[in-house]
Homo-oligomer: A and B are copies of this chain.
């Protein structure tokens, strides 16, 4: 299968030959209220940045997380891991690079990198989320529609 990169403005859908994955870049600017008295972004506020990353990645694939919930699918977070390399600071323009590196089943795993405007890697993270049927509150498989959209990125 040939190498393929689609571009669309500042956000890109990468489909590199190796490894199989889906990747998306989202940009956000650090707000004053997100800093703490060290002058750094508070360590807990990155969780919102990763949420922006994965929501925008899903939107790029055509899946509004809002619509998932309206269809009775919830996606609570099961695991969060963050390694902080360098602090982000007030007004920094950050790129949240989000990757899906495996086809979801009952779980979906997102990997993240936060990179500042100078290209410095500030932190790396991973979240595991569980698809939950909001009627029964039990785990369920990822919606077929999402799997169908993701398969081409992994099927080679």
Contact = CB atoms under 8 A, between A and B. Distances in A.
B38 A42 contact: no
Dominant secondary structure at the A interface: mixed
B39 A32 contact: no
A156 to B, nearest CB: 32
Given A31-B48, A37-B39, A52-B31, A82 B79 contact: yes
Nearest to A77: B43
A31 B38 CA distance: 13
A39 B32 CA distance: 12
Given A33-B48, A81-B81, 11 more contacts: A31-B52, A32-B42, A32-B65, A35-B36, A36-B36, A38-B76, A43-B76, A44-B46, A44-B51, A77-B84, A79-B84
